[in-house]
């Protein structure tokens, strides 16, 4: 069986200008993101999933790029 290891995860290779976050984290993240020059895209809780996961932006977006 061939080995399947992620060699380069989907992490930014350069400066980040825009990033998505769950709105429930706005109070603690807004100022630090502003200090870093990152514009946040605040996503509402996803009521279709377990409440413990509802604020996870990665469960609400579909990555179509490379």
The boundaries of the domain holding residue 26 are 18-59
Q: Is residue 26 situated within a structural domain?
A: yes
Q: Is residue 41 situated within a structural domain?
A: yes
SS (H, E, C) the chain: CCCCCCCCCCCCCCCCCEEEEEHHHHHHHHHHHHHHCCEEEEECCCCCCCCCCCCCHHHCCCCCCC
Q: Is residue 7 situated within a structural domain?
A: no
Q: Report pLDDT for 38.
A: 97
Q: Is residue 9 situated within a structural domain?
A: no
Q: Is residue 65 situated within a structural domain?
A: no
Q: How confident is the model at residue 64 (pLDDT cuts 50, 70, 90)?
A: confident
Q: Is residue 6 situated within a structural domain?
A: no
- The domain total for the chain is 1
- What pLDDT, in 10s, does the model give residues 2-52? 676 777 667 787 899 999 999 999 999 999 999 999 999 999 999 999 999
């Amino acid at each position: 069986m061939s080995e399947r290891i992620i060699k380069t995860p989907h992490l930014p290779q350069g400066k980040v200008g825009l990033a998505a976050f769950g709105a429930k984290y706005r109070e603690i993240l807004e100022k630090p993101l502003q200090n870093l020059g990152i514009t946040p895209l605040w996503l509402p809780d996803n009521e279709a999933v377990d409440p413990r996961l509802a604020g996870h932006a990665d469960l609400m977006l579909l990555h179509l790029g490379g």
